[in-house]
């Protein structure tokens, strides 16, 4: 199995990635002082039909895909230690609390982000659901990029909302009897200015004159 290794430097990762072209041809040494050879154990390949042949159309397509400038840039940003799946799950969860088609004020959006974070923290390690007989439950999906092939994913248990009970207790037992401290903390939160306020807004006459000059 080919491995990119644990180096996080941009140049090293890109050179390791480029060496895949040689690796796929059963060539495991590279004319590169930083990455002179593959790190996997040496093994003699007996079936050359499993390797790409120099000058072949298949090798040309693979090389074109692997050495694409945009791909190389993305490779340089890969992390050998961390994945973004949990962050992507959080971003997806936020849409349930703050849909994109609704405009919220700053404090309203901040509160909804807090709720999303509390929900994620409580349910991020939900165990896999089991059937009545105790067997793990899975579900099958057919994503478009798989072109008809299915993907199996474990089904998690139903999420819980214990944090809402804690929030209600704080609200009725602490905030309602004495709201002044909480109101003070809320008003102390710095609210950034609108993005539109960072730019000079031309007058209507100047905007019309600029429009007419472009099409005259």
Domain annotation covers residue 143: no
In a domain, 113, yes or no: no
Total structural domains within the chain: 1
**Please, what's the largest Cα pairwise distance for the chain?**
80
- Mean pLDDT in residue range 129-146: 90
C-alpha 82/C-alpha 6 separation (Å) is: 11
Range of the domain at 31: 10-75
Query: For residue 162, is it within any domain?
Result: no
Distance, in Å, from the CA atom of 79 to the CA atom of 8, rounded to the nearest integer, reads: 7
Lowest mean per-residue pLDDT among 94-103, 137-146, 172-181, 182-191: 137-146
Residue 121 lies in a domain: no
Considering the domain boundaries, does residue 37 fall inside one? yes
Task: Give the pair of three-digit tokens for residue 181.
Answer: 């401290």
Q: Is residue 187 part of a domain?
A: no
For the record, the structure tokens of 103 come out as 């405009």
pLDDT in tens, 68-77: 888 888 887 7
pLDDT above 60 for 3:
no
**Sequence-separated (6 or more) residues with CB below 8 Å from residue 22:** 28, 29, 30
Q: Is the pLDDT of residue 115 over 50?
A: yes
pLDDT of residue 9: 60
| H or E stretch at 88 | helix 85-97
Classify residue 58: in a domain, yes or no.
Answer: yes
Average pLDDT, the chain: 86
């Amino acid at each position: 199995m080919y491995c990119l290794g644990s180096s996080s430097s941009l140049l090293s990762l890109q050179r390791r990635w480029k060496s895949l072209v040689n690796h796929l041809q059963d060539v495991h040494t590279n004319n590169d002082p930083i990455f002179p050879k593959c790190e996997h154990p040496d093994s003699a390949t007996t079936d050359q039909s499993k390797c790409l042949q120099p000058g072949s159309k298949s090798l040309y397509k693979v090389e074109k895909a692997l050495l694409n400038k945009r791909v190389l840039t993305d490779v340089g940003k890969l992390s050998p230690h961390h994945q973004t799946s949990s962050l992507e799950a959080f971003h997806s969860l936020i849409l349930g609390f703050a849909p994109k088609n609704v405009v919220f004020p700053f404090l309203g959006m901040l509160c909804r982000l807090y709720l999303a974070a509390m929900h994620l923290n409580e349910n991020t390690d939900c165990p896999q659901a089991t059937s009545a007989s105790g067997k793990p439950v899975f579900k099958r999906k057919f994503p478009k990029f798989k072109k008809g092939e299915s993907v199996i994913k474990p089904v998690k248990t139903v999420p819980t909302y214990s944090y809402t009970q804690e929030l209600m207790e704080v609200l009725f037992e602490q905030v309602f009897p004495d709201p002044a401290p909480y109101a003070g903390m809320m008003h102390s939160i710095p609210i950034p200015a609108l993005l539109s306020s960072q730019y000079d807004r031309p007058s209507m006459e100047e905007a019309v004159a600029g429009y007419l000059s472009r099409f005259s």
